[in-house]
A and B are shown apart, each in its own frame.
Chain A
Amino acid sequence: MLPPSNGDPAGPSAWRTALSPTATVISALFASLFLLFLVAPLVGLVGAGGAAGIRQLFTDGELRGALALTVLTATSATLFAVLGGTPLAYLLARRQFAGRALVAAILDLPLLIPHPVAGIALLLVLGRGSPIGSVLFGAGIRLTGSTFGIVCAMLFVAAPLYVAGARESFARVDHRYEAVARTLGDDAWSAFRRVTLPLSLRGLTASAIVMWARAVSEFGAIVILTYNPKVVSVLSYDRFTSFGLGGALPVAAVLVLLAILPLAALRALRGEDSPA
């Protein structure tokens, strides 16, 4: 969200590529193989189990329950991330403070560690044996075998995606919009609410959608904390170990179809971004 600049009006699409025909063919071949590698398993999965999965939604109560639990926990985790992550993302984008780089690096950590390790770390800090966990347990909140545990696992592994995206969205809004709003009578909160938030809302929404999609597909951290009740990813694993590929296929296909929803929402958001 920058003021107009006198950049290259032609844009990158108008540049002439310097690739030779041979290089173009080789690049296209590698790109196609790469795309095929990414798309083929998913298409195969939906093709083989999609229809059965949708049929099973009407007949399989456990699958319906897992789907509802997945949507509920992923949405809750996303809401918590928006509430806690938005101010943090704003601070990281706008303010210079001691330890800023360290905070940013710490936020990236959950993305880098294996997710079962993330589950173990959560168990260590929030489990019944820890000081925090014992307080929570006293209040009737359990981390293991509970919806709370699932939300915690999703929040831990997926929230950094929201914070990173939100930070980027805030950084794209030139701080001088806020400066102008301040000279027009807004205090800091009003300037944020009336200017920065509307201008970054699309980016924040896209970041929340990405986080939600990541939370929906989380398995490693959840399975350490909460095997039951089952979210769809755990259920697909459970069906695979109990009934083999044929049993897991419909559930896995439902999970893929669920992931297509945010993808479509993201596409719609980006469509609005493109120039008329």
Chain B
Amino acid sequence: MIDVHGLTVRVGDFTLENVSFKVPDGDYGVVIGPAGAGKTTLLESIAGLLPLRAGIVRLRGTDVTRLPPERRPVGLVYQHAYLFPHLTVRENVAYGAVDGEAAAESIDRFGLQLVGDRDVRSLSGGERQIVALARALARRPEVLLLDEPFAALDPRSRAAVRREVRTMYFDRGCTVLHVTHDFEEAGLVGDVAVLLDRGRLLQTGDPADLFRRPANAYVASFLGAENIYAGTARPIRATSPDWADAAAGQFAQHPLAFDTGSLTLYALGDAVPGKGHAILRAEDVMLSTDAIASSARNQFRGRVTEIVSAGALSKVTVNVSGTPIVAAVTTRAVHELGVEIGREVVASFKAAAVHIC
């Protein structure tokens, strides 16, 4: 397990402050945050490369806070690989290997036999990252720290390196902490997500839960939620018994009405009634040309004001009495429904899709 508690580090003017999280043994942790969030500082602190001002780092149950980097069971792979340019590929992989057999195994495992004697400066970006991974794993670390390993790669290399990382993870079973600023990448690979911004921990938990149930509007915005509404939540058990009672029993959550501007959204949640925010992801919004009978408790008629197509997916903004609702639908559906700017459509979504925080 990677167990970080109250970690505080200062580097120049930047401070990573009071960060705590856990990644269970064998799990894949993802640290998400924009540039300047402190992601690399966090990894370097766990690796023992930066002195802590406060906090404890435990790796696989052992307190390593006072151990130097070379005595910690970690491997670190940076975005730019940092292969030693005065050594060949084979010498790089063998640099920290526990023994010759581990180095040879790493070379074989990553298919580096043919480039073993090459100058590392002649490698492509993808090859460099794979050599860096092979080098880190030849030391047989129990914890692998990956600092944006795909960020500097072209799409094809990125896919290849990502495949290698996943295969390595499943084969070796070591605990991984992977830093990225790419939310999509985080969703693809992570078991545990750690959200950092400007040196502070915003939220930690299951990545899907983080996306569905952000702690606040800032986190939701940070994670790319398209529909964030400020307003007031109130309980509606008395006024909507038809679905509220059943829902309350089933989900152990209470139904809420959320008033924002001229709209009232229906939601399910454990939020305390009062002022707050409603979060709705665009992919949970369905579009139709007419009102339809469905289980969706929220149905709003409005006019299309914007359509942004990105390949197979389009984002359609519907203006409902001055409040925009963004729906993510397939571009094909946009064409088939005849959705165009100015057309009246119905946006519908389930109460369970609305998260109140």
- Please name the residue on chain A nearest to B72 by beta carbon: A183
B residues 283-335 with Cβ under 8 Å of A? none
Q: Is A114 close to B, CB under 8 A?
A: no
Q: Is B82 close to A, CB under 8 A?
A: yes
Q: Is A41 close to B, CB under 8 A?
A: no
Would A183 and B86 be within 8 Å (CB), given that A3-B80, A3-B81 are in contact? no
**A176 touching B82, Cβ below 8 Å:** yes
Q: Is B233 close to A, CB under 8 A?
A: no
Chain B residues in 8 Å Cβ range of A183:
47, 49, 69-70, 72, 74-76, 96, 136
**B74 touching A199, Cβ below 8 Å:** no
- Min CB–CB distance B14 → chain A (angstroms): 14
- Please name the residue on chain B nearest to A176 by beta carbon: B82
Query: Which listed residue (B47, B70, B75, B82) contacts A177, Cβ 8 A?
Result: B82
B residues 1-51 with Cβ under 8 Å of A? 44, 47-49
Q: Is B281 close to A, CB under 8 A?
A: no
Q: Is B78 close to A, CB under 8 A?
A: yes
Q: Is A195 close to B, CB under 8 A?
A: yes
- Min CB–CB distance A171 → chain B (angstroms): 16
Chain B residues in 8 Å Cβ range of A181:
84, 95-96
Chain A residues in 8 Å Cβ range of B75:
183-184
**A176 touching B95, Cβ below 8 Å:** no
Q: Is B274 close to A, CB under 8 A?
A: no
Give A1 to B135 CA distance when docked, in angstroms: 20
- Listed residue (A180, A186, A199) with the most chain B CB atoms within 10 angstroms of its CB: A180
Q: Is A4 close to B, CB under 8 A?
A: yes
- Min CB–CB distance B75 → chain A (angstroms): 6
- Listed residue (B49, B69, B135) with the most chain A CB atoms within 10 angstroms of its CB: B69
Give A185 to B70 CA distance when docked, in angstroms: 4
Query: Which listed residue (A3, A179, A187) contacts B49, Cβ 8 A?
Result: A179
Chain B residues in 8 Å Cβ range of A3:
80-82
Would A186 and B70 be within 8 Å (CB), given that A4-B80, A176-B82 are in contact? yes
Q: Mark B78-102, 1 if CB is under 8 A from A, else 0.
A: 1011101110000000011000000
Q: Mark A179-223, 1 if CB is under 8 A from B, else 0.
A: 111111111100000110011000000000000000000000000
If over half of B's interface residues share one DSSP class (helix, strand or loop), that class is named, otherwise mixed; here it is loop
**A187 touching B82, Cβ below 8 Å:** no
Chain A residues in 8 Å Cβ range of B44:
179
**B70 touching A174, Cβ below 8 Å:** no
- A/B pair count, beta carbons within 8 Å: 61
Would A182 and B80 be within 8 Å (CB), given that A1-B85, A198-B86, A199-B86 are in contact? no
Give A177 to B132 CA distance when docked, in angstroms: 12
Give A186 to B81 CA distance when docked, in angstroms: 17
Q: Is B277 close to A, CB under 8 A?
A: no
Q: Mark B122-142, 1 if CB is under 8 A from A, else 0.
A: 000000000000011001000
Chain B residues in 8 Å Cβ range of A195:
84
Q: Is B111 close to A, CB under 8 A?
A: no
Q: Mark A152-180, 1 if CB is under 8 A from B, else 0.
A: 00000000000000000000001011011
If over half of A's interface residues share one DSSP class (helix, strand or loop), that class is named, otherwise mixed; here it is helix
Give A211 to B84 CA distance when docked, in angstroms: 29
**B76 touching A180, Cβ below 8 Å:** yes
- Please name the residue on chain A nearest to B81 by beta carbon: A3
- Min CB–CB distance A81 → chain B (angstroms): 24
B residues 93-118 with Cβ under 8 Å of A? 95-96
**B68 touching A182, Cβ below 8 Å:** yes
- Listed residue (A174, A183, A194) with the most chain B CB atoms within 10 angstroms of its CB: A183
- Min CB–CB distance B88 → chain A (angstroms): 13
- Please name the residue on chain B nearest to A5 by beta carbon: B80
Give A77 to B297 CA distance when docked, in angstroms: 86
**B82 touching A185, Cβ below 8 Å:** no
Give A185 to B97 CA distance when docked, in angstroms: 9
**B84 touching A182, Cβ below 8 Å:** no
- Please name the residue on chain A nearest to B76 by beta carbon: A183
Would A177 and B84 be within 8 Å (CB), given that A183-B76, A184-B135, A186-B96 are in contact? yes
Would A174 and B85 be within 8 Å (CB), given that A182-B69, A184-B139, A186-B96 are in contact? no
Would A182 and B49 be within 8 Å (CB), given that A187-B68, A187-B70 are in contact? yes
Give A199 to B86 CA distance when docked, in angstroms: 7
Query: Which listed residue (B48, B78, B86) contacts A176, Cβ 8 A?
Result: B78
- Please name the residue on chain B nearest to A186 by beta carbon: B70
- Min CB–CB distance B58 → chain A (angstroms): 18
Give A65 to B74 CA distance when docked, in angstroms: 60
- Min CB–CB distance A212 → chain B (angstroms): 25
Chain A residues in 8 Å Cβ range of B95:
181, 184, 194
Give A188 to B71 CA distance when docked, in angstroms: 12
Give A140 to B63 CA distance when docked, in angstroms: 57
- Min CB–CB distance A213 → chain B (angstroms): 27
Query: Which listed residue (A179, A194, A198) contacts B76, Cβ 8 A?
Result: A179
- Please name the residue on chain A nearest to B50 by beta carbon: A179
Give A182 to B72 CA distance when docked, in angstroms: 10
Q: A184-B139, A186-B70 are in contact. List 17 more A-B contacts (CB 8 A).
A: A3-B81, A3-B82, A176-B78, A176-B82, A179-B69, A179-B76, A179-B82, A181-B96, A182-B68, A183-B47, A183-B75, A183-B76, A184-B70, A184-B135, A185-B139, A187-B68, A187-B70
A sample of 10 inter-chain contacts (CB < 8 A) reads A177-B82, A179-B69, A182-B49, A182-B69, A183-B72, A184-B139, A185-B96, A186-B96, A187-B68, A198-B86
Question: Footprint of B on A, CB under 8 Å?
Answer: 1, 3-4, 174, 176-177, 179-188, 194-195, 198-199
Q: Which 6 A-B pairs have the closest CB atoms?
A: A184-B96, A3-B80, A182-B69, A183-B76, A185-B96, A198-B86
